[in-house]
Each structure stands twice: as C-alpha cells, then as structure tokens.
Amino acid sequence: MSAGTADVDRKLLDAIERLGRALRAARQRIATDLGLTTLQIEIIDRLDHLGPLPVGQLARELDVSQPTASDAVAALERKLLLERRRSPDDGRITIAGLTDTGQASADRIRDGLRALRPRSDDSRALDRGTALEVLLQEILRLQEAGVITINRSCLSCRHYQPPADGNPAHCHLLDTRLETHELRVDCPDHATADPES
Ligand code: SF4
C-alpha cells in the first residue's frame, strides 16, 4: 500500500468517525427529548425497521451484551413502549415488539434523524454511489475481522450478484438491478451469504 493510499484510508476513517460523533450527538438530543437513553432509542429504531425480534438478536444487532439489552427492553416495557411475549416456536425465547405508543416514538425518532440526511443532489449520485460501495466494503471487511457482528448490506447477502461483464450488480430476490447508489446498507430482506456464519 502506498503512503498516499494509507493517508486516504486514515482520512476516510477520520471522516467516518467525525460523522459518527455527529450522529451520536443527534441521537442523544432525540433521546433526551423523549426521556430515553440512546440504547433505548436504538432498540425502538431496530424494532421499527425489522419488526418484533428475540431479545438475544436485539443484543447482537446493537453489539451489546444480552443482560444490557434485557435491561433496556425491561425499561421500555415499563414505559409501555414495547411488550414482551414468549416465542410460539420456543418458549425459552422472549420476543420484543413495539406497542402503539412505541410506534409513535419510532415515528418521532425517524423524523428527527431524517433532518440529518443530505439534500439530494443528482449530479453527485455517481460519487455518492462510489462512496457508498467503499463504505460497504469496509463494513464487510470489519465483519470478516469479527469487529462487526451483524451486516445486513447487499455485499454480504446471498441474493446479491456482483457486477460482471459491464452489467451492474443484481438482486435475485427482488429481481432488480443494483447500481452502486442503490446498494442497501440495512435491508430487511437480507439473507446471510453463509448460513453457517
Ligand atoms: S435482498 Fe436486500 S440486501 Fe440482499 S441483495 Fe437484495 S436488496 Fe441487497
């Protein structure tokens, strides 16, 4: 790797870290407004995006321990924002899902985070697509290194066919082409490429 490439890699990581700090600060402001912790709003956000989930999976989604996730779920249940029930398939598993009040909180969280999105600028779509692909490759690299547990992006999905012979990538599940700017970061239809992983 040349010195120039290493320098760009370091600046890329610095930029991601800076963006991450800004997003964490924004989440903290939303959490404070709602009287919740940032972990609690992340749980509401996950349940809103993916539907009811086992508490163990919630812990893996958020890269926290199961006791930490269980405490946050219990606190949200006391606030009447979610409810827990036993899995009909396995009585040892507890499933958490949003109540109507929790769904209203999820809507407020989504609205608050929407304000952080960049204004769309079609003239930069190709640049943004390339940047997105680079970031997804980094997420995949960190997943393979064991740093990231859950990766729901196209690049790790078994429905994903990479670009070849001048043709763009393709999603076999949705039967649609995927230009780089259309790659998904957090797809609810994602299927892990290796069922054993
Ligand atoms: S199912 Fe979702 S994650 Fe998988 S390739 Fe299609 S769009 Fe991407």
**pLDDT tens-place string over residues 49-77:** 999 999 999 998 898 999 999 999 999 99
174 CA: nearest ligand 1 atom: 6
Average pLDDT, the chain: 89
Pocket test for ligand 1, best of 136, 157, 185 (most atoms within 8 A of CB): 157
**Beta carbon of 136 within 6 Å of any ligand 1 atom:** no
Pocket test for ligand 1, best of 159, 176, 182 (most atoms within 8 A of CB): 159
Q: What is the pLDDT of residue 196?
A: 47
Return the residue matching tokens 């995006």: 49
- Global confidence as pTM: 0.77
Return the residue matching tokens 């930069």: 124
Q: Which of 125, 76, 68 is nearest to 96 (CA)?
A: 76
169 CA: nearest ligand 1 atom: 5
Domains of the chain with bracketed CATH: 3-116 (1.10.10.10), 123-182 (no CATH)
**Beta carbon of 179 within 6 Å of any ligand 1 atom:** no
Which residues lie below 8 Å from residue 60, measured CB to CB, with a gap of 6+?
149, 150
Distance (Å, rounded) from C-alpha 117 to C-alpha 110? 11
Return the residue matching tokens 């957090």: 186
Strands 176-178 and 169-171, by their bridges, are antiparallel
By percentage, how much of the chain surpasses pLDDT 90? 57
Q: What is the pLDDT of residue 22?
A: 87
Six token digits for residue 56: 């163990």
Six token digits for residue 77: 């249940």
**Beta carbon of 154 within 6 Å of any ligand 1 atom:** yes
Task: Give, to the nearest 10 degrees, the angle between helix 3-34 and helix 38-50.
Answer: 100
129-132 long-range contacts (CB < 8 A, ≥24 apart) are: 129/179, 129/180, 129/181, 129/182, 129/183, 130/180, 132/180, 132/181, 132/183, 132/185
At 141-193, the pLDDT tens digits run: 989 998 888 899 999 999 999 999 888 899 999 999 999 989 999 898 999 87
Return the residue whose CA atom lies nearest to atom 5 of ligand 1.
160
